[in-house]
A and B are shown apart, each in its own frame.
Chain A
Amino acid sequence: MRRDVVILVAEDDDGHFSLIQKNLQRSGIWNDMIRFVDGQETLDFLFMKDGGPKREHSHKYLLLLDIRMPKIDGIEVLERIKQDHELKKMPVIILTTTDDPREIERCHSLGCSVYIVKPVEYEGFIDAIRKVGLFLSVVEVPRIDGVA
């Protein structure tokens, strides 16, 4: 993954966010990161709502998305993203506490790239994030607005 990819993290838990950021960096991922604390903020940014931060047309984005978030949950965020002809190209990695098989299936049905269950214990969580980081270092991310 190139340095110019901006990693969006939709995560309402401060502790989890901190662990995610720190451990992605430890696995060599130093890309710019933007955090959203709930689904509404995430959508406002992606759909370029006036009055707040907005995505840039020419940028490349990858989204780490929690499901259980205030205001609008991750499932709805995923659904809206995948219904948009531009945004649907953005890789969305679900990173959440729930391991319910129906939720896993639903997210894949809606078009998530990958689904990861946050391990409950600290060591497992860190290890999983580091593996995500290593993996991100070899993936390709498209520009949302397409190749010029």
Chain B
Amino acid sequence: MQRDVEILIAEDDDGHFSLVEKNLQRAGICNKITRFADGQETLDFFSSSRSARKRAREAAYLLMLDIRMPRVDGVDVLKKLKEDPFWKKMPVIMLTTTDDPREIERCHELGCSVYIVKPVEYEAFVEAVRKVGLFLSVVEVPQLDETAKTAGKSR
């Protein structure tokens, strides 16, 4: 993953966020991390059009998205993002407590990149986040700039 990819984390639980951030870093991820405490904050970031597109030209983003969040939940956030012609290309990793198969299916239907269930016990949670971190070190994240948007339309 390129150094300039900004990792966005939508996570309402402070403890979980802290563990995720720390363990991504332990796995060697030194990208900038930005946190949203609920779904509304997350959507606000993406919908502040002029500033968001300006930011998008300078960076690429990857979103780690919890489902159970106040105000707007993660599934609604995912749906809105994947309906947007600009943001739909951004990888979205669901990282959530629920292992309900219908939720897993729904998120894949809406276009999530991947779905990960947060293990209940501490050691396994830490381990899972480290595996995500190691994996992120080998993935490619698309740039979301305007010129790329035009190229995408010409298929």
Contacts and interface: CB of A to CB of B under 8 A. Distances in A.
A25 interface: no
A148 to B, nearest CB: 9
Interface stretch (A13-21, A30-38, A63-71, A137-145): A137-145
A134 B105 contact: no
Interface residues of B, number: 33
Interface string B98-127: 010110110011010111110000000000
Contacts of A46: none
Nearest to B94: A140
Contact of B115 (A127, A137, A139): A139
A41 to B, nearest CB: 24
Contacts of A112: 113
Contacts of A134: 131, 134-135
B132 A140 contact: no
Nearest to A130: B134
Interface of A: 88-91, 99, 101-102, 104-106, 108-109, 111-117, 127-128, 131-132, 134-135, 137-143, 146-147
Given A91-B108, A127-B138, 16 more contacts: A89-B108, A89-B109, A101-B148, A104-B141, A106-B152, A108-B89, A109-B142, A113-B91, A116-B140, A131-B131, A132-B138, A135-B135, A140-B117, A142-B105, A146-B105, A147-B102
13 contacts: A88-B109, A91-B114, A102-B151, A109-B152, A112-B113, A116-B138, A116-B140, A134-B131, A138-B117, A140-B104, A142-B104, A142-B105, A146-B105
Interface of B: 88-91, 99, 101-102, 104-105, 108-109, 111, 113-117, 128, 131-132, 134-135, 137-143, 148, 151-152, 155
